[in-house]
Structure 1
């Protein structure tokens, strides 16, 4: 699904249980539970057990269930855009971008190791 909209697989962590992609580009992705991981060794990111949004070429908008921890507060990520070899994450009016290479591999959720082993 992600490659269809020009996004790397590594934007989603390991552990996806399923997804729904509708003709209008709206989507839902399901995990066994909330998932936390470090992005580029600087940001703690949390995906809810269900994330949703709308996909278009190079853009994920109206995101639900995606958060980044800033100091002691979890802030929602509303949009992710791709421009060339960079991905930009929008948290309210603020954005930050990362090189596409940071998303070559899907991250592992903290605490998922025992779930993945049980499924194997």
Structure 2
């Protein structure tokens, strides 16, 4: 007994929409698997500097249609920047769009004696605004052109110059 199916023609708009979704999903998966784009490349494609994440991110996931993302580090990480202590969990999640990171989870900052979550980062021209909900702070984007390193932040590569002659302002040399 043979079954016969009567098929209706598929509207062109439906076909094009389906192909676009398949292309985007395939492209996103291929980029991640092939290593063509790093998480730092993705940050830059959304107008953010690479220095928002420390050195050594091991991977990421990104749903292009919703902007939902997850970035993975090799472990938790902490360092100081501009008088603030930052902590990154091994997984950072949120939503990304052009110039905006929202509903962030996994990044905290120590303000006085209290640790608070950074929940949003937005870019405005040459600055970045970091929000903890009840307060925010602006920083020049130039501060984040290089990636910080766990433990020492941006200070790892700076050489400390020591003078061979020690001077004491309270002792006279004569």
Tell me the CA shift for residue 93 of structure 1.
1.9
Alignment of 1:1-120 (within 5 A): 1-23=42-64, 24-39=66-81, 41-110=82-151
Distance in 2 (alpha carbons) for counterparts of 1:82 and 1:104:
14
TM, length-normalised to structure 2 = 0.61
Larger fraction in helix: 2
Larger fraction in strand: 1
Larger Rg over CA atoms: 2
Tell me the CA shift for residue 21 of structure 1.
1.0
Tell me the CA shift for residue 72 of structure 1.
2.1
Secondary structure, aligned partner of 2:139: strand
- C-alpha offsets along residues 16-58 of structure 1, whole Å, 9 cap, x if unaligned? 011111122110011111111222x211111101000000110
Distance in 2 (alpha carbons) for counterparts of 1:14 and 1:38:
14
Distance in 1 (alpha carbons) for counterparts of 2:62 and 2:48:
15
Secondary structure, aligned partner of 1:2: helix
4+ residue stretches of structure 1 with deviation over 6 A?
A: none
Distance in 1 (alpha carbons) for counterparts of 2:80 and 2:119:
18
Secondary structure, aligned partner of 2:143: helix
Secondary structure, aligned partner of 2:48: coil
**Structure-2 residue corresponding to 1:118:** none
Distance in 1 (alpha carbons) for counterparts of 2:75 and 2:92:
11
Q: Which has the higher contact order (CA 8 A, sep 6+)?
A: 1
TM, length-normalised to structure 1 = 0.88
5+ residue gaps in structure 1? 112-120
